[in-house]
Chain A
Amino acid sequence: GESVGLHLPTLSVQEGDNSIINCAYSNSASDYFIWYKQESGKGPQFIIDIRSNMDKRQGQRVTVLLNKTVKHLSLQIAATQPGDSAVYFCAENKGDTGRRALTFGSGTRLQVQP
């Protein structure tokens, strides 16, 4: 079946560096692609989303890029901080009528080294 997946299970970066977390998707019918952050022992927290008709969207220290040609989504975190250490999930908001629940990928763990 269609799914959202991730390239790398763990990403280790130095504090202050930029981080790039990647995600591949297969459902071209999704209206939105979303990034969530999950800290240890907590529920996922919304970071940023991008509509399927956009290529780029920026937030505070984060940028999401969408490449529909290769069905690839990425999250860029500028000047990574220790507080950014978490598991990051990409998700999609499937476009099926009546089915708007989020579908999540398996996650990438980001480790920020001091």
Chain B
Amino acid sequence: NAGVTQTPKFRVLKTGQSMTLLCAQDMNHEYMYWYRQDPGMGLRLIHYSVGEGTTAKGEVPDGYNVSRLKKQNFLLGLESAAPSQTSVYFCASSYGIESTEAFFGQGTRLTVV
């Protein structure tokens, strides 16, 4: 089973460039999440989705947009990258509203120069 797959694994962007991170899950999970992880800090929630066609803001949504057009995919977009967005990005999915077990992808290391 693939679980949660993130694409790409590494990326370097110049300030002002745009990019999209793709997350795909094959577990038929309703919930999907995007987190960022910075050194010495825990994971901070950027955006999440409780089902196909829905998205909601998390703790640190500014500068990011998301879309969930298909149940298995959750896209994270950076319209105009800034150095402050240098981070490791994790996508996760979980079964439903009562689920405490989220399944994480391997992460995307993004550097904005």
Contacts and interface: CB of A to CB of B under 8 A. Distances in A.
Given A49-B100, A98-B56, A44 B45 contact: no
Nearest to B48: A101
A1 B90 CA distance: 23
Given A101-B48, A103-B45, A42 B106 contact: yes
Given A49-B101, A100-B97, A106 B50 contact: no
Contact of B50 (A34, A46, A98): A98
A101 B101 CA distance: 11
Greatest chain A CB density within 10 A among B35, B45, B97, B100 is at: B100
A43 B31 contact: no
B43 A46 contact: no
A43 B45 contact: no
A107 B39 CA distance: 10
B111 to A, nearest CB: 16
Interface of B: 4, 31, 33, 35, 40-45, 48, 50, 56, 58-59, 90, 92, 97-98, 100-107
Interface of A: 4, 9, 32, 34, 41-46, 49, 89, 93, 98-107
